[in-house]
Amino acid sequence: MSKRRPLVAGNWKMNGSRAESAALVDAVRRGVGPGARVEVALCPPFILIPLVAEKLAGGPVSWGGQSLDTHKSGAYTGEVSGPMLKDYDCAYVIVGHSERRALYGENDGVVAEKFGAAQAAGLVPILCVGETLAEREANRTEAVVARQLDAVVNKHGIASLKNAVLAYEPVWAIGTGKTATPQQAQDVHRFIRGRLAARDQAVADGLRILYGGSVKSANAKELFGQPDIDGGLIGGASLNAEEFLLICRAAD
């Protein structure tokens, strides 16, 4: 069990009509009690943020974006900035999700810039790191995760992680139904925390590191029971209120 306040964040990805999203967010809000130890957040597609913000305002569940542009405003057709997310009272924004890295060409440098843009706007970045199956099989998991982390820490300093959340998301486990075993996940979480502790013990101790990749109610309790796993980033299962709430309870 983690010493830090657990966070369970739903990543809806590119899913949900207005009607479906309204029903989902209402059910999550009803299901999360004000006194819960676990913190719950929802990250819908940009266009649904106003709806979600209106429904969650004043309650215990927070919300955020799934990405942001590195610029504050200007001629960047199709993009959404950190200040725009903040204007809708987003608390969080996901940065460096493996789908952004793989499908939209976001390399470590861009991810580090986005991390800085998020913090400059007063948002807490949820920085995603994780290896592909080929990288794991080549025994490169730690090297890849270290490279992804260092890109951010070298640019913004270790203290920038006081206002951030990490998510370890092995690419081979995302949306595949193949979850990392609790021990596989814990091993990487411990590696990450240890690496950061070498720079600043207090920052490493306080940092929440979420696990993501096919988390379900059936495996959440065991994953969240690991000492260095401080909650989850939930994709597919966050689209079902009942299932998502069971996962939240598993972290409570």
Applying CB under 6 A, does 130 fall inside the site for ligand PGA? Answer: no
CB-nearer residue toward ligand PGA: 203 or 226: 226
Helix axes 18-31, 49-56, angle to 10 degrees: 30
Report residue 83 CA to chain centroid gap.
19
CA-nearest of 163, 152, 45, 44 to 107 is: 152
| CA angle at 138 for the pair 132 and 141, rounded to the nearest 5° | 55
Rounded CA gap, 186 and 192, in Å?
Answer: 10
214 is annotated as contributing to ligand binding? yes
Angle at the Cα of 89 from the Cα atoms of 70 and 10, rounded to 5 degrees: 80
Closest residue to ligand PGA using C-beta atoms: 235
Residues between 150 and 169 that touch ligand PGA (CB under 6 A): 169
Task: Tell me if residue 113 is catalytic.
Answer: no
Instruction: Pick one of 67, 148, 214, 219: the residue that binds ligand PGA (CB under 6 A).
Output: 214
- As separate numbers, helices (DSSP H) first and strands (DSSP E) second, the chain gives 11, 8
Map residues 218-247 to x or -, x wherever contact with ligand PGA holds by CB under 6 A: ---------------xxxxx----------
Segment interacting with ligand PGA, rule: CB under 6 A, options 14-22, 116-124, 148-156, 213-221: 213-221
Please report, in angstroms and rounded to a whole number, the separation of the first and last CA atoms in the chain.
Answer: 10
Work out whether 212 is an interface residue with ligand PGA (CB under 6 A). yes
Q: Spot the catalytic one: 97, 99, 113, 135.
A: 97
Question: How many residues of this chain interact with ligand PGA, rule: CB under 6 A?
Answer: 13
| Helix (H) / strand (E) containing 40 | strand 39-43
Q: Is 66 in the site for ligand PGA (CB under 6 A)?
A: no
Q: Is residue 169 flagged as an active site residue? A: yes
Active site residues: 97, 169
Q: Which residues are annotated as a binding site?
A: 11-13, 175, 214, 235-236
**Interaction site with ligand PGA (CB under 6 A):** 11, 169, 174-175, 212-215, 233-237
